[in-house]
Amino acid sequence: MSEENKTSNKPTSKPSAFTARRQFIQIGIAALGAAWLGVLVQSKIFPAQGASQEAKPVEFPLSELPVGGTKSLLYGGQPALVLRTPESIRAYSLICTHLGCTVQWQADKQEFYCPCHDGLFDQFGEVLAGPPPVPLEQLPVRVEGDMVIVGEVV
């Protein structure tokens, strides 16, 4: 028996290069599968923060929005709020920029509050406290005649 055969018949405790490479590939495939599953689960738990439906402009009479008042509506399938002050009319998405919970307008404090993680935004949507990384999304709004129009005409 040649020297080569003697060594190849010996049981070895170390995996061969082929076995190690195969394990590496299997682990890599498993990691990719786990990452894909994580993204899938996250997308189901926390749907995209942007409008999931095509956002068509929403109109309502200006008379429904007195100075100092608000008007709730759905824009692109997402809750939104229009605020009217003596100086301006502004509209904001009510989807929190942290993890997508719905924020609440607190008229007495003139702030948006997110109950999920105590996120707080001022009346201009700017972050005051909590984990939200960026301001609330401001939506385009304009007045034409006696109608308020929220959203862009595409």
Cβ closer to ligand FES: 94 or 141? 94
CB-based closest residue to ligand FES: 119
Q: How far is the CB of 46 from ligand FES (least distance, A)?
A: 9
125 binds ligand FES (CB under 6 A): no
Q: Give the range of 18-26, 53-61, 95-103, 140-148 binding ligand FES by CB under 6 A.
A: 95-103
Tokens of 151: 């959203």
116 binds ligand FES (CB under 6 A): yes
Handedness of CA 117, 122, 125, 129 (dihedral sign): negative
The Cβ of residue 124 has, within 10 Å, a number of other Cβ atoms equal to: 14
Question: Who's near 153: CB < 8 A, 6+ residues apart?
Answer: 57
Chain center to CA of 93: 12
98 binds ligand FES (CB under 6 A): yes
Q: How far is the CB of 132 from ligand FES (least distance, A)?
A: 5
Which of 62, 74, 89, 99 is in the footprint of ligand FES by CB under 6 A? 99
Contacts of ligand FES in 41-80 (CB under 6 A) = none
In the three-class reduction of DSSP (H, G, I as helix; E, B as strand; rest coil), residue 56 is classed as coil
Q: Give the range of 24-32, 70-78, 113-121, 146-154 binding ligand FES by CB under 6 A.
A: 113-121
Place of tokens 């290069």: 17
- β-partners of residue 138 are 92
- β-partners of residue 102 are 95
130 binds ligand FES (CB under 6 A): yes
Query: Which of 102, 98, 56, 59 is closest to 82 using CA atoms?
Result: 59
Give the binding site for ligand FES (CB under 6 A).
96, 98-99, 101, 114, 116-117, 119, 130-132
